[in-house]
Amino acid sequence: MEAIVDHVVAHLATALERESFKPLGMATGRTMEPFYKALIQRLASWPTPRLEQLKRRWLSFNLDEYVGLPPGDSRSFAAYMQTQLGCHLNLPSCQLQLPDGTARDPAEEARRYGSALHKAGGIGLQLLGLGGNGHVGFNEPPSPAGSRCRVVTLQQATRNQNAGAFGGNPDKVPEQAITLGLDEILAADEIHLIVTGAAKAEILRQALVDPCRDDVPASWLQRHSNVHLWVDDAACAHLPLLS
């Protein structure tokens, strides 16, 4: 796992060193936590002027947010990003973009967020985790490759998977979320898919080996020409070429 973290963070650092970097695509979830920690450690070794310059021009767009949770709610993805990254790098929330979970009209907010990303030039490097049901972001099955930023209803499996942040009670997990669609994700220049643990081995196999289909939204990543796959031994146990 440490080796994966080092490699991915090296890619992130390279992206951040570019003269003009495109917005980063950020993901949440337990899988991502060691990556943010390592990124902060790595950036701490940068000379101060370089780090200050990076902080001034930092711009990232998260994949998703729960409908109904304000940024001040510790269970929101906005709070997650502040805890994992923002407060360590002193980044104001306007540089760490997420959909507004409290918008009065979530569908309109999804359109606004998608268009804000488009105006910012789209994603350069996208970090991506994998849901146990094959979702990426919150693109729940079925999600077509052309799906755009929108409001989605979370499946029971997803609410169960994410219940940990809600005191272990899946009923407390919001029923809806706003997520970037596969269209916006697949438009990223490079995608880093990070998958760990035996529980995701079979869905990862379906995503990478079986034909693309809406029922396994992550399978649309096969259509992207620059996906980096980062897995531990347990997660790749069902992949014929790697195990």
**Interface size with ligand GLP, residues (CB under 6 A):** 13
Q: Is 122 left (phi over 0), alpha (psi -120 to 50) or beta?
A: left
Task: Write the Ramachandran bin of 168: left for phi over 0, alpha for psi from -120 to 50, otherwise beta.
Answer: left
- From the list 18-26, 118-126, 131-139, 211-219, the region that binds ligand GLP by CB under 6 A is 131-139
Identify whether 162 is a catalytic site residue: no
Task: Enumerate the H helices of 188-236 as residue ranges.
Answer: 201-209
Query: Which tokens go with 182?
Result: 């596969």
Q: Which stretch binds ligand GLP (CB under 6 A): 11-19, 21-29, 144-152, 230-238?
A: 21-29
Q: What angle do CA 204, 210, 214 make, to 5 degrees?
A: 85
Closest distance of CB 195 from ligand GLP, Å: 9
Which is closer to ligand GLP, CB of 143 or CB of 158?
Answer: 158
- Residue 162 binds to ligand GLP (criterion: CB under 6 A): yes
List the one residue from 9, 27, 123, 145 that touches ligand GLP (CB under 6 A).
27
Query: Tokens 């979970």 — which residue?
Result: 101
CB of 225 to ligand GLP, least distance (A): 22
Nearer to ligand GLP, 46 or 131 (CB): 131
Of the listed 62, 133, 139, 162, which one is catalytic? 133
Sole binder of ligand GLP in the list 12, 24, 39, 63 (CB under 6 A) = 63
Beta strands 96-97 and 176-179 are unpaired
3-state class (DSSP) for residue 176: strand
Does position 137 interact with ligand GLP (CB under 6 A)? The reply is yes
Residue number of the CB closest to ligand GLP reads 129
Which listed range, 28-36, 117-125, 201-209, 228-236, lies at the site for ligand GLP (CB under 6 A)? 28-36
Per the annotation, the verdict on 64 as an active-site residue is yes
Q: Which position has the token pair 């409001």? A: 151
135 noted as active-site residue: yes
Count of residues for the chain? 243
- List strand residue ranges (DSSP E) for the chain, in order: 24-26, 60-62, 64-66, 96-97, 125-128, 150-153, 176-179, 190-195, 227-231
State how far the Cα of 240 lies from the Cα of 119, in Å rounded to an integer: 41
Interface with ligand GLP includes 31 (CB under 6 A)?
Answer: yes
Q: Known catalytic residue: 139? A: no
Which residue numbers are catalytic? 64, 133, 135, 140
Q: Which residues bind ligand GLP (CB under 6 A)?
A: 27-31, 63-64, 129, 131, 137-138, 158, 162
